């Protein structure tokens, strides 16, 4: 892809990615019925927008099918990572929607428990927790593309890698709860985990811990897509 060095590209926006890796503090707020209804409406709109985005990415991936050159393979990798990010974000939106819609205590506890699976598995697939899971992560897949891109993207990737690595070590990412909820390995401990006091704002902030991370990666991969699309456009013009 070195032949693209002479192409002039449209300005691509820079972001303060560190802003999306802050530690969120809950404030014990409970939404009123009107606030809850409004928030769920917003979630529905965002889910719809992200779902449309999924369809568009799938179409782009289909168009790249069969191309074996470096450019095509790199573009497919970027699209695949982006698809993972928005798909996992949708999972976050849906689980929080039904947590907020749950009208019985046991339903809320169930949804909160299943939310832990998404939080743990989502970050594990995004970046991982140690060398073994990192090697299978989407971020590792993206590393195979970065070396072909301009220095500015390489530096941003390095910065995000530092933030993601720090984030991976910031908590246990609900590993224990994920194992209990997935494998039913200990009924007593699962019951005790489910009986933990429900704090709505705490649950929301836990989801934000993953979603804001996904959003930072979404912004970065969107920039990469813009770069690739500019190359495609310039090639067609020429």
| CA–CA separation, 120 and 34 (whole Å) | 31
Q: Which residues form the domain of 60?
A: 32-237
What is residue 3's predicted lDDT score, i.e. its pLDDT?
A: 44
Q: Note the pLDDT tens digit of each residue in 170-200.
A: 999 999 999 999 999 899 999 999 999 999 9
Percent of the chain with pLDDT over 70: 92
Percent of the chain as helix, strand, coil, to the nearest 5: 75, 0, 25
Within a domain: 89: yes
Within a domain: 10: no
Within a domain: 6: no
Task: Give Dmax over CA atoms of the chain in angstroms.
Answer: 67
Long-range contacts of 137-145 (CB under 8 A, 24+ apart): 138/80, 138/81, 138/84, 138/85, 139/81, 139/164, 139/217, 141/77, 141/80, 141/81, 142/77, 142/78, 142/81, 142/221, 144/77, 145/74, 145/77, 145/78, 145/224
Residue 68 has pLDDT above 80, yes or no: no
Within a domain: 192: yes
Within a domain: 87: yes
Question: How many domains does the chain divide into?
Answer: 1
Within a domain: 16: no
Neighbours of 163 (CB within 10 A): 17
Within a domain: 24: no
Q: Note the pLDDT tens digit of each residue in 20-29.
A: 998 888 888 8
């Amino acid at each position: 892809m070195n032949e693209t060095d002479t192409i002039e590209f449209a300005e691509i926006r820079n972001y303060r990615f560190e802003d999306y890796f802050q530690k969120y503090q809950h404030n014990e707020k409970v939404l009123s019925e009107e606030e809850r209804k409004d928030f769920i409406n917003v979630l529905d709109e965002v889910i719809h927008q992200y779902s449309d985005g999924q369809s568009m990415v799938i179409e782009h991936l289909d168009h790249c099918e069969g191309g074996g050159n470096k450019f095509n393979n790199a573009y497919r990798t970027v699209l695949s990572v982006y698809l993972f990010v928005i798909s996992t974000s949708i999972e976050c939106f849906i689980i929080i929607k039904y947590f907020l819609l749950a009208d019985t205590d046991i339903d809320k506890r169930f949804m909160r428990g299943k939310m832990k699976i998404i939080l743990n598995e989502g970050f594990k697939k995004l970046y991982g927790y140690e060398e073994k899971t990192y090697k299978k992560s989407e971020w590792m897949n993206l590393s195979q593309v970065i070396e072909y891109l301009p220095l500015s993207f390489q530096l941003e990737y390095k910065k995000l890698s530092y933030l993601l690595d720090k984030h991976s070590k910031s908590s246990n990412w609900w590993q224990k709860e994920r194992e209990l909820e997935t494998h039913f390995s200990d009924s007593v401990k699962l019951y005790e985990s489910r009986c933990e006091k429900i704090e709505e704002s705490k649950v929301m902030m836990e989801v934000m811990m993953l979603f804001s991370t996904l959003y930072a990666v979404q912004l970065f991969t969107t920039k990469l897509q813009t770069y690739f699309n500019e190359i495609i456009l310039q090639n067609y013009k020429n």
